[in-house]
Amino acid sequence: MYQKLNNLLREHGITQREIAEKLNINSLGTVSLKLNGKSIITLDEAKGIKELLEERTKKKYRLDDLFKEGE
């Protein structure tokens, strides 16, 4: 559902396991549900994913741009 985010994660080799570790989520299934828009991503989780992406890419991103639905 978050196409831009998922494309960036894939492009930069960020795995669901890395996201789970960053967010202290025990289940990769939960991460998958969140990234596919089937479970709610909290603000803190969104910030954690953004931070992980920024650390990897050395670029800045806006939450509203990364988590735009359907794009």
Contact residues for 23 (Cβ-Cβ < 8 A; gap 6+) = 31, 45, 48, 49
Token pair listed for 29: 């299934």
Q: Which CATH number does 3-66 carry?
A: 1.10.260
Extract the runs of DSSP E, i.e. beta strands, from 1-71.
Answer: none
- Whole-model pTM: value is 0.92
Contact residues for 43 (Cβ-Cβ < 8 A; gap 6+) = none
Domain limits, the chain: 3-66
d(CA 8, CA 53): 8
> Nearest-CA neighbor of 20 among 49, 42, 47?
49
pLDDT in tens, the chain (71 residues): 899 999 999 999 999 999 999 999 999 999 999 999 999 999 999 999 999 999 999 999 999 999 987 65
